[in-house]
């Protein structure tokens, strides 16, 4: 019996008993996992929200799923491959991840993949290498029961048309490989042209594959960085975040609710979450909104809870 079938069996059996009436906590837990009960929006936790704890060794990657459930009452997680970089083909380690997540009642939603090369590299050999570097993460996602693998559509140079053609080829090739595994290949706005909503929309439209889509992030819309990196700390040209999210939403298979800080009323100080949620509702998107706290004033745990509280208020 697969993990997903086992979970469904347990839940349906539990819900058929009168005991469910007397244990509201169990009922809430079952409702979170029951595939037949699908609210329009659900909340997941991106592992990057705890990157400081993970990099310092305070938190072990294998304990992340349980922490999401125990500390934050969140039952879906989004992994970052940096925290188990050398484990993509380690069947024993992936099995342990499955066991830990299953024991905590946590659904492993997706893997965010970095450091494997740009799928829009104009150089044919480099692009081919990047595509093949991602195969192991597609396979790992299938093993973990994930729906998607988030990738990066970047490449050398500034020729928008050349990068468009390269992205169509690279993403299309990877999506073709992933289709056989039932995995989505999704692109996040992650700097450069990938943060240009019109450009990325054009790439998605030309690829035209049902398992190739986007992961709109509320915060990553830097097109030109002052230090020439893919980061966002020295941005000198930024795409309109609301326009970008709206352009990406028709192809979205996940959404990253990036947050930085909050005011006394609980509102995010840099991003209008209310406006973002309105755009998401209007688009017809149904699925997970992933908490990705990147602030420094609040602790990671405080930032996660502040983001969760705001999202719950807006999506009810």
How buried is 297 (Cβ within 10 angstroms: 0-12 exposed, 13-18 middle, 19+ buried)? Answer: exposed
Residues 81 and 221 in one domain: yes
Residues 126 and 246 in one domain: yes
pLDDT at position 242, please? 98
Residues 290 and 219 in one domain: yes
Residues 13 and 140 in one domain: no
Domain count, the chain: 2
Residues 65 and 203 in one domain: yes
Residues 125 and 267 in one domain: yes
CB 216 within 8 A of CB 256: yes
Kindly report, residue by residue over 74-86, the tens digit of the pLDDT.
Answer: 999 999 999 999 9
Domain with 32, as residue range(s), is 1-37
Residues 110 and 21 in one domain: no
Kindly report, residue by residue over 196-211, the tens digit of the pLDDT.
Answer: 999 999 999 999 999 9
pLDDT at position 32, please? 42
Residues 85 and 11 in one domain: no
More confident call, 22 vs 199: 199
Residue 191 CB partners (closer than 8 Å, separation 6+): 154, 220, 222, 223, 225, 229, 230, 231, 232
**Is pLDDT at 1 greater than 70 in this prediction?**
no
Kindly report, residue by residue over 91-135, the tens digit of the pLDDT.
Answer: 999 999 999 999 999 999 999 999 999 999 999 999 999 999 999
Residues 28 and 172 in one domain: no
CATH number for 311:
3.20.20.150
Residues 32 and 126 in one domain: no
């Amino acid at each position: 019996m697969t993990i997903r079938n086992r979970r469904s069996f347990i839940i349906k059996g539990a819900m058929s008993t009168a005991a469910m009436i007397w244990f509201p906590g169990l009922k809430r837990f079952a409702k979170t996992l029951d595939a037949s009960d699908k609210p329009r929006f659900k909340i997941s936790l991106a592992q990057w929200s705890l990157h400081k704890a993970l990099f310092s060794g305070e938190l072990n990657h294998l304990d992340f799923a349980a922490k999401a459930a125990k500390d934050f009452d969140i039952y879906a997680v989004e992994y970052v491959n940096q925290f188990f970089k050398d484990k993509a083909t380690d069947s024993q380690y992936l099995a342990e991840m499955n066991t830990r997540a299953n024991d905590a009642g946590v659904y492993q939603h997706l893997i965010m993949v970095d450091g494997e090369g740009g799928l829009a590299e104009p150089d044919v050999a480099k692009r081919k290498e990047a595509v093949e570097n991602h195969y192991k993460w597609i396979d790992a996602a299938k093993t973990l029961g994930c729906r998607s693998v988030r990738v990066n559509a970047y490449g050398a140079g500034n020729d928008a048309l050349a990068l468009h053609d390269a992205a169509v080829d690279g993403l299309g090739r990877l999506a073709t490989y992933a289709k056989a595994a039932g995995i989505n290949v999704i692109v996040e706005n992650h700097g450069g042209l990938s943060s240009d909503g019109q450009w990325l929309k054009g790439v998605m439209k030309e690829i035209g594959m049902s398992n190739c889509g986007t992961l709109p992030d509320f915060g990553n819309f830097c097109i030109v960085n002052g230090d020439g990196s893919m980061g966002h700390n020295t941005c000198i040209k930024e795409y309109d975040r609301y326009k970008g999210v709206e352009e990406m939403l028709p192809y979205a298979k996940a959404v990253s609710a990036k947050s930085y800080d909050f005011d006394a009323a609980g509102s995010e100080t840099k991003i209008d979450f209310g406006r973002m949620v309105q755009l998401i509702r209007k688009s017809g998107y149904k699925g997970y909104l992933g908490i990705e706290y990147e602030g420094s004033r609040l602790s990671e745990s405080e930032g996660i809870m502040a983001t969760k509280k705001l999202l719950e208020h807006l999506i009810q």
